[in-house]
Amino acid sequence: MTTLINILIIEDNEVHLYLLNQYLTLSSLRIGTISHAASIDEALTVLDTEVPNIIFLDLFLPDSEGLESYTIIQNKIKTAAIIVISSLSDINTTLEALALGAEDYLVKGEFDDRILEKTVRYSIERKKSEIQLQASEAKYRQIFYNNPSPMYIYDLETLNILECNEAAVKTYQYAREEFTKLSILDLRPPELRVHPVINDPNELKNLLSNPLPHQKKNGDIIMVEISFYHIEMNEKVVRQVQINDVTEKIELQKALTAQQEEKQRSITAATITAQETERAELGRELHDNINQILVTALLFLDNVIVTQKIDFERLKYIKQIISESIKEIRKLTKGLVPPALDNIGLVQALEGVLSNLRVLDNMTINTSFADFSENLISEDQKLMIYRIAQEQLNNIVKHSGASVVDISLQLKDESLELAIKDNGKGCDLTEKRNGVGLQNISTRAALHHGKVFINSAPNQGFELAVNFPIMDEA
């Protein structure tokens, strides 16, 4: 019968505590009791009466911080496997805790029930191995050869491998006789074999704080976490190495990251689609409803003016207001409803926007669209370029004080670049900006895997370039 796993969670954040409990529930681990403590003092009280197999430890608690938290718990109980729960900002402290003996760590928000389950199982096995290694030499030999983790021992002077266990044979795919004729350099990929071997324990721990590549007999590369111990063998101090193959874990993390990025792109796409739909709906409503009402009112007032039965001057004034209202509504609908790019084309649509700027007496507009072909990009990409140009041109009119604006569309290798440059007052790029205009531009560009480049300085104008690949969507 499988032994139940008793757990102590030392965490003061209710959200992370809830998520950890949920992932434990979703896993296939056979959980016994789960106890909680929000501080080191509470944890010590729990440990006075309970003996957990696993301790999840947040190093930063109300009454203790950093390595002190680990040291207090580790000194209190020697038999429990300690898994550090860390944030990315605390990763250096976490790695120091691993160097002191913590079994493993999990980064908050970066794991799921499967990673958690593997970490728990690995930590329990590692802790069992550690306890047994400390028991006696006889037990040590038995544990070494039967340990589920790959292990080998090598000579610190010659770097030759002296002994290995069955798990190492299976992992690296060498026969035992072959393995014990290798140097530890032979486990490195060829391009790393020329690098010097670090013997200083502290420097070595720093190097091993991240997974390293090892090569199997068949040439496959695996990513491994490495821990080591100094032991006596044949009256000589040698180094015992324990390997944890994290290749699958790293690939899973990469897959999760890719899924998160794809999800974010989907959210961005849905947001932009909703914005465009809302704008189009609002534009149609203004044009088909309010505009028609105002036109009818204008015709009615024309009739009243002709008859001259009431205050003529007042009616003329009202007519002027209504006429201006119609003009403003037309401007609004022109900005809200996207142009029919498939009919008039992107360049013609951009020229329509630029025509509004050319009526300004103090502004010169220069265009360069000769190197651009409409059939290279999709309708979605055309709309993206149109909206980005529209946004930046509005920014120039409102904020720049520019007298000259240059806009171009040109091919660069397998990408298309939209560039808009003005000679206005510019800005200091090191200062924090609160506007949403550039944020909208970056969001739209990212949806099509585009990159935004900005060059500006006070009184030196402002240059915006958006570069995105066209081969995948051409």
My answer on whether 153 and 69 are in the same domain is: no
Return the structure tokens found at 81: 């496997």
My answer on whether 98 and 203 are in the same domain is: no
pLDDT of residue 109: 85
My answer on whether 227 and 276 are in the same domain is: no
Identify the three-state secondary structure at position 208.
coil
Q: Which residues of 263-299 are buried (b: 16+ CB within 10 A; e: fewer)?
A: eeeeeeeeebeeeeeebeeebeebbeeebeebeeeee
Q: Does a structural domain hold residue 20?
A: yes
Which among 65, 97, 100 has a CA at the least distance from the CA of 84?
A: 97
Residues 6+ apart with CB under 8 A from 179: 152, 161, 164, 168, 169, 172
Return the structure tokens found at 465: 């370039």
Phi, psi angles (nearest 5°) of residue 228: -145, 160
Which among 417, 414, 412, 410 has a CA at the least distance from the CA of 372?
A: 410
Domain that holds residue 151: 136-245
Which among 432, 429, 418 has a CA at the least distance from the CA of 461?
A: 429
- Are the C-beta atoms of residues 392 and 436 closer than 8 Å to each other? no
My answer on whether 97 and 164 are in the same domain is: no
* Of the residues 187, 219, 245, the one at which a domain ends: 245
Q: Does a structural domain hold residue 254?
A: no
Half-sphere exposure of 7 (CA within 13 A, CB side): 25
My answer on whether 366 and 454 are in the same domain is: yes
My answer on whether 314 and 401 are in the same domain is: no
The pTM (predicted TM-score) of the whole model is: 0.38
Query: How distant, in Å, are the alpha carbons of 18, 87, 209 from that of 56?
Result: 13, 13, 20
Q: What is the pLDDT along the chain (474 residues), one digit of tens a residue?
A: 468 999 999 999 999 999 999 999 999 999 999 999 999 999 999 999 999 999 999 999 999 988 999 999 999 998 999 999 988 788 888 889 888 889 999 998 888 899 999 999 999 998 888 777 666 555 667 778 888 889 999 999 999 999 999 999 999 999 999 999 999 999 999 999 888 888 787 888 888 888 999 999 999 999 999 888 888 887 788 998 999 999 888 888 888 888 888 877 777 776 677 677 667 766 665 665 566 556 656 665 666 677 666 666 666 766 776 777 776 666 666 655 566 566 678 888 888 888 877 777 678 889 998 878 888 888 888 888 888 888 888 888 888 888 899 999 988 878 889 999 999 998 888 876 655 667 778 888 887 888 899 999 999 999 999 998 875 444
My answer on whether 264 and 159 are in the same domain is: no
Give the angle 52-58-60 at the CA atoms, nearest 5°: 140
* Of the residues 102, 134, 166, the one at which a domain ends: 134
pLDDT of residue 433: 64
Which among 420, 419, 427, 429 has a CA at the least distance from the CA of 399?
A: 427
Q: Does a structural domain hold residue 250?
A: no
Return the structure tokens found at 102: 């913590």
Q: Does a structural domain hold residue 253?
A: no
- CATH number reported for the structural domain that contains residue 444 in this entry: 3.30.565.10
Measured CA to CA, the distance from residue 226 to residue 205 in angstroms comes to 9
Number of domains in the chain: 4
My answer on whether 73 and 180 are in the same domain is: no
- What are the helix and strand counts (H, E) for the chain? 16, 15
Query: Would you put residue 48 in left (φ > 0), alpha (ψ -120 to 50) or beta?
Result: alpha
Which among 23, 11, 8 has a CA at the least distance from the CA of 117?
A: 23
My answer on whether 238 and 276 are in the same domain is: no
- Are the C-beta atoms of residues 248 and 224 closer than 8 Å to each other? no
* Of the residues 245, 272, 295, the one at which a domain ends: 245
- Are the C-beta atoms of residues 140 and 98 closer than 8 Å to each other? no
In this structure, the chain runs to a length of 474
My answer on whether 111 and 16 are in the same domain is: yes
My answer on whether 370 and 401 are in the same domain is: yes
Residues 6+ apart with CB under 8 A from 284: 337
Identify the three-state secondary structure at position 415.
strand
Q: Does a structural domain hold residue 81?
A: yes
For residue 290, give the amino acid letter.
Answer: I
Strands (DSSP E) contained in 330-395 are 364-368
